Amino acid sequence: MSHTLHTLALFVFDGVQILDVTGPAAVFAAANDCCAEPFYDVVIVSAKGGNVSSSCAVQLATTALSELPPDSVDILLVAGGDEDALRRLAGERTVRKWMQQAGAGAIRYGSICTGAFLLADLGLVDGKRVATHWSACRELADTYPQVEVDADSLYVEDGHVWTSAGVTTGIDMCLAMVERDLGSAVANSIAARLVLYARRPGYQSQFSPVLKAQAKAGAPFGKLVDWMAANLHEPLDVPQLAARMAMSERSFHRKFTSSMGETPARFVEILRLDHVRQLLETNKSLKEIAVETGFSGTTQLSRAFERRFGITPQLFRETRA
């Protein structure tokens, strides 16, 4: 199958986060390997070209903006990194002009991590819903009130604007782009090649319930949280969990709630519903999902899901199809 070659510009700068560049670049290179002919022509660009130092001292060879006509860019992505460097770049006339022209003609454009700050400063995401790294969400929202900051999602697609939370989420977003361009089989093949645990949809939170719990729990509940996440089909009631921790039920309930900030029952439901949301992306029936996630039936699952997310599982599945 023959494809038109699409020029994809990855904009970098001194202090760039290296994974914001190499992650997406690896995805698009792998996509080319899956095609009979290359689909993406990936160009690493910077304001002046030459070697650019990343935040971890690794240097990147780059092409100057002046060497790549902005109207030749089909996809533009701004990597994240040092926010002061991004602000300085926003003040450079040549960068502003090139970015605005490239964005105007691109099929899609966006950012990884704090690259959203440059897009916001250039007015390229006004009125758009965007994602950035969790640590920068408040600053982005306060500095650019005309931008709707999604502080939760891994990545966001709003029209032809794509933005991600940063670092590894740039890989998730770029896999979604590849799926849009070349189909799910290619995207899944790339995910397998990169040895990803799972392809994560954009609506997933930057902090999974398990990750949040692991950060909070420590001893003595860290290992219990891992076990709970792997055994959602079990009852996971206080008697079972307390017995597993060799505690009285009363002591377990008190200590778990104090450590996790949630009662055991509430935490179990959060874990189950987060996994339900992932399974709704598969072809499993609602009955199968209920069994796998420990709900007594589809009615209980649906009520809990709608209570938490404000939408029925069926409608959620339809909107993600």
pLDDT confidence of residue 201:
57
Rounded CA separation 170/111 (Å): 8
What are the φ/ψ torsions at residue 223 (nearest 5 degrees)? -70, -30
What would the pLDDT profile of 250-300 be if each residue is shown by its tens digit?
999 999 988 888 899 999 998 898 889 889 888 999 999 999 999 999 999
8 A C-beta contact, residue 37 and residue 3: yes
The domain locations on the chain are 6-193, 209-320
Domain 6-193 in this protein, CATH class? alpha beta
8 A C-beta contact, residue 20 and residue 115: yes
Q: Is the pLDDT of residue 7 over 90?
A: yes
pLDDT confidence of residue 166:
76
pLDDT confidence of residue 200:
60
Q: What superfamily does domain 209-320 belong to in CATH?
A: Homeodomain-like (1.10.10.60)
pLDDT confidence of residue 1:
47
Tell me which of 8-17, 53-62, 190-199 is least confident: 190-199
Q: Is the pLDDT of residue 203 over 80?
A: no
Give the chain's mean pLDDT.
Answer: 89
Q: What mean pLDDT is predicted for residues 133-157?
A: 90
Q: What mean pLDDT is predicted for residues 103-116?
A: 96
First to last CA, the chain: 25
Residue with tokens 């990343």: 54
What would the pLDDT profile of 223-248 be if each residue is shown by its tens digit?
888 899 899 999 999 999 999 999 99
Rounded CA separation 278/198 (Å): 10
What would the pLDDT profile of 65-92 be if each residue is shown by its tens digit?
999 999 999 999 999 998 889 989 999 9
pLDDT confidence of residue 2:
53
